[in-house]
Structure 1
Amino acid sequence: MLKWTVVFVVLAIIAAVFGFGGIAAGAAGIAKVLFFIFLALVVISLLTGNKKIV
């Protein structure tokens, strides 16, 4: 999951550099969603005492 988050963040940065507003906004939105999902899974994993993080 973290891999996809990094991919979309990089895509958002590249799109922002080239000035494609719609693409940059879409990629940044997806990156934010994936980041918060990953963060929630890590917190849940730590709270349940699961040694295997995501």
Structure 2
Amino acid sequence: MNRMTPAEITSKAEPVANKLSGTFGGVTQTCTGPRRVQFFYDDPLQTPITDLRVRF
């Protein structure tokens, strides 16, 4: 098994992340398919969450 240090992982991942990143709050690319997201929160009354806006 190839063991890499955190610095080696960062040096390989950072150029890819910088290439794929866009501006904050802007659209970088269109969605290629549907996404499903689940949110879990600790609420003893099980209050439903309404009008939750999520941006990817």
Q: Tell me, yes or no, whether TM beats 0.5.
A: no
TM-score normalized by the length of structure 2: 0.29
TM-score normalized by the length of structure 1: 0.29
Greater Rg by CA: 2
